[in-house]
Every structure is written in structure tokens, then in C-alpha cells.
Amino acid sequence: MGQVDRQEQRGALELVVYAAGDEAAATALPKAGSVTIGRGEGNDVRIDDASVSRRHAVLHVGPVLRIEDKGSANGTFVRKSEDKGSAVETRRVHRAPGETFFVELGDCIVLGSVIAVVRRARHEEGTKASDEARRGAMSRVVVADPSMRALYEEARRAAGSPFNVLLLGETGVGKEILARAIHEASPRRGKPFVAVHCAALSETLLESELFGHKKGSFTGATEDKKGLFEAADGGTVLLDEIGELSPSVQVKLLRVLEDRAVLRIGAVAPRPVDVRFIAATNRDLEAEALRGTFRQDLFYRLNGITFVVPPLRERKAEISQLAAFFLEDAWKKLERKGEPSIATEARELLERHAFPGNVRELKNAMERAAVLCAGDTVLPEHLPPRIARSPRPSPDKTAAPPAGVVWTATQPISESDVSEALKGINERQRILDALEKCAHNQTRAAEMLGISRRTLVSRLEEYDLPRPRKR
């Protein structure tokens, strides 16, 4: 197969950057051209990290992908996806300006202490997926916690009714997934499901997107446009983050709910629509309605049937299964071979973490782990730092003390004991941070800490930290 054929076959690509935190930033890549990467303004991909040079590297996109280091201070490294799990030395591009290396999907690109990877664009997968495939994905939704099983059973029964649904819950708990499940279980499942993020668009754009417009109704309206409510006729519309709607849009939405008709911007006559509305928010809409910051009449129109999705920290039974599901999905996106797994220590850390970002945070963590994992098993060092640092549950008064610590009722804890304990905690944290910044390269981490590699290894053993595998 020729190089051009390979390029067309792989479709749209994106560069995903994993900085020091948990968040991942994706940038769509052109079909051909050069993409500059660096900390300075004007780069196509700007990474605000001190370890990244102002003009760090250039990713050349074409029939093949190539990364070129631009003489960066901390180097550019490439770990080939086929080398993961082996003892092959990481290939170095640092201090070789103009030299380029081939990059394939799933290769781990290290820019200073930042990790990046090229993968298939998510929207590309979405456009290729058939309705049957999407329904198949919904059937694989992980529902293991008893409270979630009860919630989905209630939602399944409510799906057959014509009433509007209001979904409440923290950001990232899976409200859109539940909304899709309701649509798929309803008589409308053969019709469109349209999700609208109300906070992502300006007021003017949101009105045009929801209600449509007539040609010439405003500057830039060069032709008639059908709104999303009309496009979803016969199906379901999810209004995500509905608490972000402005008062004027709330009034127009209320009219649609009452009249079941849409008036395009600039139009005179309304158009009838048959749509089931599902609204979702992380706000307390009832309290906001009482305060007058959200229309009470709109709240009661939307509040036909209400479901509250519990946060992930209250669904511990689902964490391991969700993590395995997201890891497998990320593995496929990166086109990695083998069957991924999660080590017991890493699974315990995941189950211990509070997940303030809920399911979305867990998904990001497993995508990151799929990039950093050297073999087929995700280890603690592949998890984001704040998950790897999750504190152990507080022991009860009857529990045995940790190894190496003796508690007695007659022997008080001295200030020096406390000082030594805090010193150990701080040093342990410094080691974890250094390993993270150096992409788990022990030699570089030891240099950053100002200690020998042998001392670092002994500290890892002392603090019961797993040694990173060779990349």
C-alpha cells in the first residue's frame, strides 16, 4: 500500500498533549504541513510548561509523520509503540537540530517533561460510527453500583413516556450517557439524538443553532438555516448545562416547550417540531428558580421526571470496570497491540481516589496511562500524580499501626517524631514530582533531585514506591 493510500486510510488525526496535571489538550492536525510546538506565543501547539522551550519541535504531517527537534533545552524523545514493554533505549532527538524521526500512531513523544501522542481524531470515529454501533456502545455502559442499577432501571421505565426529563449531578458524572440511554430505550430511538452544550456558545450563536435563521436576518446569514430543534424532529434533544442559558434564550425555549413550534430568527411563521427534551445541569435549578436567576415556569416545564446521577466517589464498585473499559478504548485508539491490564496497586489507587472530576477525570487518567505504559500493565507511576498520591484510608482506632510505627497509650508523639514523619512525606512527594517531570526516567530524576541514581533507587524502596520500568 502506498504512503498516500495509508494517509487517506488513517483519516483525520490529532495531537494530544498531557502536561503535568491530569488534563489532556487535543489539537486537530492538518492533512499535510508543519505544526510548530513550543512554549512561546505563535506556535501552532502552545504548551505552557517550563520544561518546554519557546520553539521546541516541529511535527511534519504528510503521508508519514516526522518529529523534528529545534535545539530545545530539555530535549525531544520518541518511544516507538512497538518498543513498549521492551528494554530498548529511548531514541533521543535532543541536540540534533534538523534531524527528524518517524512517528506512528501511539508513539510516545516526550517534550521536556510533557508527554504527547498522535491518535485518530475522535470526531472522525464519530462520523464513521453507524447508529447500530452507537447503540452497541450504549449496551456496554458500565452500571455495577446498586444505586446506578436502580437509576438506570427507573430511567428505562421513564423512557417510554412522552414527558421531559431533567438530569442533575456534578460535572463529569455521565449525564449525557444516561440521556443517550433514555433515547435508545424510547420509541424515538430510530430518530436523531442531538446534544447541545449551552455553555459552549455565545447567546447569539446559541439562538441561531437552536432555532435556525432566515437568509438576511443578520450579517453573515447568507442562506436559510435549519436549527437543531428542527433537525432533531421526531427525536431527542439534550440541553446540557441548561443553567447557563441567558434570560432571553430561556423565554424562547419556554415558548418552544409550550407551543411545540420553532420560530427561526427573522421568520414570521413558526414551524412545528416533535421533540422530546432532556435537560442536564450541575446546578441546583430549583434553588436558582426560587432566587429568580432561572425562570420558574421553564424549570417546571423541564422538570417532568428528574433523575440525580451520583458522583463517582459514591460508586466505588464501578471504578475498576470503568477504568478497564476506558483503558481498552484508549488502547484501540492508539492502535497498540496486546491486551492491557491494570496492576493491583494501580487499581487500589484508583479506588482510593475521590475523583472530583468524576468519570471524565477517570477517562483522562486511563488515556494518559495508555500513552505512558511501557508494557501491557498499567502501574502506579503511569497514573496522574494526584491519583498516585491519593492518601490511604484513615485507620480506625482498633486497626494495627503501619509497619515501622509503634503507637502506645503511654508514649506521646514527640515534635521530633512529627518532624521526621513530615520530612519523609515531603521527600516522597519530591521524588514523585521529579519522576513525573522526567517522564519516569530515573537517571534524569536523580539529577534533578541532586542525588545519585543508586540513592534514588534506595529511596523508592524505602517509601514503597514501584520502580518505573525501562522505556
pLDDT in tens, 132-168: 434 444 445 788 888 899 999 999 999 999 999 999 9
Q: Which of 68, 52, 59 is nearest to 36 (CA)?
A: 59
What element of type H or E holds 377? strand 377-378
The confidence score (pLDDT) of residue 18 equals: 82
Task: Locate 167 and state its grid cell.
Answer: 438530569
Cβ–Cβ under 8 Å, residues 346 and 387 = no
Give the chain's residues under pLDDT 70: 1-10, 19-23, 81-98, 122-140, 390-426, 463-464, 467-471
**Length reported for the chain:** 471
pLDDT in tens, 340-380: 999 999 999 999 999 999 999 999 999 999 988 878 899 99
3-state DSSP call for residue 20? Answer: coil
Q: Which domains does the chain have, with CATH numbers?
A: 3-122 (2.60.200.20), 146-308 (3.40.50.300), 315-392+417-462 (1.10.8.60)
Measured CA to CA, the distance from residue 398 to residue 326 in angstroms comes to 38
Task: Mention every residue, 6+ apart, whose C-beta is less than 8 A from residue 119.
Answer: 13, 14, 16, 105, 106, 333, 334
pTM exceeds 0.75 for this model: no
What element of type H or E holds 420? helix 415-437
Match 516522597 to its residue by C-alpha cell.
Answer: 428
The confidence score (pLDDT) of residue 450 equals: 75
3-state DSSP call for residue 398? Answer: coil
Task: Mention every residue, 6+ apart, whose C-beta is less than 8 A from residue 300.
Answer: none
The confidence score (pLDDT) of residue 97 equals: 54
Task: Locate 182 and state its grid cell.
Answer: 433514555
Q: Which of 180, 182, 179, 194 is nearest to 279 (CA)?
A: 179
Alpha-helix runs per DSSP H in 237-338? 247-259, 285-291, 296-302, 316-333
